[in-house]
Amino acid sequence: MPPQPATPAAQFTQLLSATRRGARLARLLAVEQIAQWGWPPDSERAEAAAVVVAELATNAVRHGCLPGRGFRLSLVLLQGSRLRIEVTDPRGDRLPAVSGIADEGGRGLVIVDALADGWGVLPYPPSGKTVWAEVSSVE
């Protein structure tokens, strides 16, 4: 066997409708894919990944949608049991904002921030954005 290049081991991408059902489906598909990649379904990292996908997908549907446009879920399995989650929506003009006040607004991004090693936003030209987060093994 030749030495393996330091490229992502595996990748999953799915376009979903910007509906509650689409957000739910994003979580279900992620759970299934992560299990196929060998993360035990009841492990902390798999549960963290599922919650992060659910929060980012829900945000894409609730805050990042445009009529007639869906959102895209991408999962990339990186070296060292790291999972990169990317949720792309069409509203590059509206960005995630973590609320500083505990009982004002949602807690979704606070939860993402707690569970992920890191997260952020990238432009998705011409007018969309990608919210990404990385989760890794804590076990």
Ligand X SMILES: Nc1ncnc2c1ncn2[C@@H]1O[C@H](COP(=O)(O)OP(=O)(O)O)[C@@H](O)[C@H]1O
Residue numbers of the site for ligand X (CB under 6 A)?
Answer: 55, 59-60, 62-64, 89, 91, 94-97, 99, 105-109, 131
Residue 86 to residue 51: CA distance in whole angstroms: 13
Closest CA to 49 of 70, 35, 59: 35
State the binding partner of 1 from Mg ion, ligand X, none, CB within 5 to 8 A by kind: none
First to last CA, the chain: 30
Residue 51 binding partner per list Mg ion, ligand X, none, with a CB distance cut-off of 5 to 8 Å that depends on partner kind:
none
Examine residue 64 and tell whether it contacts Mg ion (CB under 5 A): no
Question: Buried b / exposed e across 25-62, counting CB within 10 Å, b at 16+?
Answer: bbbebbbebbeeeebeeeeebbbbbbbbbbbbbbbbbe
CB 37, min distance to ligand X, A:
25
Identify what 60 binds: Mg ion, ligand X, none; CB under 5 to 8 Å per kind: ligand X
When asked if residue 108 is in the footprint of Mg ion (CB under 5 A), the reply is yes
- Per CB under 5 A, the list member of 47, 78, 81, 106 interacting with Mg ion is 106
Residue 96 contacts which entry, Mg ion, ligand X, none (Cβ below 5-8 A, type-dependent): ligand X
Report whether 85 contacts 120 (CB < 8 A). no
Binding site for Mg ion (CB under 5 A): 59, 106, 108
